[in-house]
Structure 1
Amino acid sequence: MVGVEEANLLLDVTATGRPALRIEAAGRSLLLIRQGDDPVIIARVEDDHYGADYVRTGHYRSPVAPLRAAHTAGAAAGGDTAWWARWAHHFRSELARSRYGPLHAGRWLISSHVPRLRSGLWRWEVLGADRGYLDWVGDWPVLPLRTLSAADDGRVKAYRKRIHDGSLPPVLLWWVSGLVGYVVVDGHDRLAASLAEGRDPPMLALTLVDPEATAASERALVDRYLASEARMRRYPGTAAALTILGQRLGTDLWEATRAEARTRAWPLPGGTPAWTRLAARHAPDLAAV
Structure 2
Amino acid sequence: MSIGFFNGEFIDIDKAVIPIDERGHQFGDGVYEVVKVYNAKPFLIDAHLERFEKSASNISIKLPYSLDELKKLILEVIERSGIKDAEVYFQVTRGIAPRNHLFPNVEPSFTLTVKPARKVPEQSYEHGVQTVIAEDDRWAKCHIKSLNLLPNILAKQNAVEAGSFEAIFEKDGFIAEGTSSNVFVVKDKVLYTTPLTSNILPGITRAAVLQIAREKGIEVKEEKFTKDFLLNADEAFITSTSVELLPIRSVDGHLIGDGAPGAITKALHQSFKAMC
State TM-score, norm by structure 1. Answer: 0.24
The structure having more radius of gyration, on CA atoms, is 1
More helix by share: 1
More strand by share: 2
Q: Which has the higher contact order (CA 8 A, sep 6+)?
A: 1
